[in-house]
Chains A and B, each alone.
Chain A
Amino acid sequence: MEHRIIDQQLDVLRDKLLLLGGTTEKALHRAMQSLTERDSDLARQVLEEDKIINQMELEIDRLSVEILALQQPAAHDLRFVIAVAKITPILERIADHATNIADAAIKINDEPQLKSYIDLPAMATTAAEMLRTALDAFTAEDAMVSREIIKQDELIDASYKRVFNELIEIMIDNPSTTASAAQLLFVAKHLERIGDYVKDICELNVYLREAAFIKHSKK
């Protein structure tokens, strides 16, 4: 008997979390695509598929509670269940931001394009890459990589400031663009928040590996 009773359940929990992560990555990618390619049908698909993500969250919640109640995990097992239970709602919120981006896309896709989309897709690519690496680091329980990803959030914050200023200028120069520019501001803000959330995931990866809470510290 190489396997403990709890191992199988922890494996299921890990698989479910990674599936949620993959689905969230896909939602973000498609939401941005619906904006840059002005594809409102695709945007509506993202909105529709958010329901699946919500269900995944509930299922992981249920399983986490069951493992805590029935298996009384300790040490690394306990940190694993805690990390999963805390990462899950973060992923769900990232997916919510993706649906908000899709929603913005629907609102502005029929309007003339304000500016060429360069900074926003670049921000999204950085955020998506951070998310993918953070989930890989979770699987590998790699605290070092997780700390590296945390630093990358500064890139997104800097892009956000640049996009923000640029959009404000556009609005001042041409007040008739305000409605569309405001939507793009929202998109930039959503991407900036996703960066923050990925940072939170990475902090939990460090907790999983090192049993240290680095949130609100100097890392």
Chain B
Amino acid sequence: MQSKISISNLNFYYGKEQALHDITLEIPEREVVAFIGPSGCGKSTFLRTLNRMNDTIPIAKADGTVLIDGNDIYAPNTDVVALRRKVGMVFQKSNPFPKSIFENVAYGIRINRMHENKADLARQVEKALRDAALWEEVKDRLNTSAFGLSGGQQQRLCIARALAVQPEVILMDEPASALDPIATQKIEELIVELKKQYTIVIVTHNMQQAARVSDRTAFFMLGKLVEYNTTQKMFTSPDERLTEDYLTGRFG
């Protein structure tokens, strides 16, 4: 397995509160890795360390190393904007800009000056929308407001927006938790399709979702990594008793 992200001995603190304890794991290229665990276990915090989204919190502090393609993203000379372009993010609640569908996707391409001309911009927007499995549903109303889309479509628009700037890694924080089962299924199918091109890390409360979409699963408890295994192994015969208890609902 070719490692895309390599995390070693990562500790993370909110002020004096330690949220992550000595996390070490490898995320392989072009696989889907799911983080599961009870609320407050640190899975979202951990996800956000992978593109330094926690930098915006003044009291937050990380130590240890996070290498992406062998480069330490916490090194002082890291270009955080470039990092977040390479490591895109999709959030629990879809957050389209108050703009047209087209402009939502075009935004990142424009500010990063990734297009040659208008036609090229339109081509890139179409590609991103196609990759997010949204093109067929919106191609006739690209200039209407993104708020006119359904929740599931808005979430796929946010995925298209993330894809538009040509990332290599996509972090997803509960991307389907606010969606109905049909929209959730579409997102899950999309995730499986996207892993052909991207490395995907997904945080989910829904264990079944982790089982369905991921190649590997990491189980967190109280800021510690309890078990990291192939999803097949994890859901049929986990190595740790604690994992077994969590997966079978025998917790507490």
Contacts and interface: CB of A to CB of B under 8 A. Distances in A.
Contacts of B186: 1
Contacts of B232: 66, 69-70
A3 B190 CA distance: 11
Contact of B208 (A3, A4, A72): A72
A5 B236 contact: no
B211 A69 contact: yes
Contacts of B211: 69-72
B204 interface: no
Interface in B167-200: 185-186, 188-190, 192-193
Contacts of B213: 5
A10 B235 CA distance: 18
Contact of B189 (A4, A69, A70, A71): A4
B212 interface: yes
Most B-side CB within 10 Å, residue of A3, A66, A70, A72: A70
Contact of A5 (B133, B188, B231, B235): B188
A4 B235 contact: no
A12 interface: no
A47 B133 CA distance: 52
B interface: dominant SS: helix
Contacts of A158: none
A65 interface: yes
Nearest to A5: B192
Contact of A69 (B188, B190, B235): B235
Interface residues of A, number: 10
Give the interface residue-count category, chain B. Answer: 10 to 19
A interface: dominant SS: helix
Nearest to B236: A69
Interface string A1-13: 1011100000000
A70 B186 CA distance: 17
Interface in A44-70: 65-66, 69-70
Given A70-B231, A71-B211, A4 B236 contact: no
Given A1-B133, A1-B193, A5-B189, A71 B236 contact: no
Contacts of B185: 4
Nearest to A8: B192
Contacts of B231: 70
21 contacts: A1-B189, A1-B190, A3-B189, A4-B185, A4-B189, A5-B188, A5-B212, A5-B213, A65-B236, A66-B232, A66-B236, A69-B211, A69-B232, A69-B236, A70-B211, A70-B231, A70-B232, A70-B235, A71-B211, A72-B211, A72-B212
Sort A-B residue pairs by CB-CB distance and give the 10 closest, nearest first. A70-B211, A69-B235, A69-B236, A1-B189, A72-B208, A5-B192, A70-B235, A1-B133, A66-B232, A71-B212
Interface of B: 133, 185-186, 188-190, 192-193, 208, 211-213, 231-232, 235-236
Given A65-B236, A66-B232, 10 more contacts: A1-B193, A3-B189, A5-B213, A66-B236, A69-B236, A70-B211, A70-B212, A71-B211, A71-B212, A72-B208
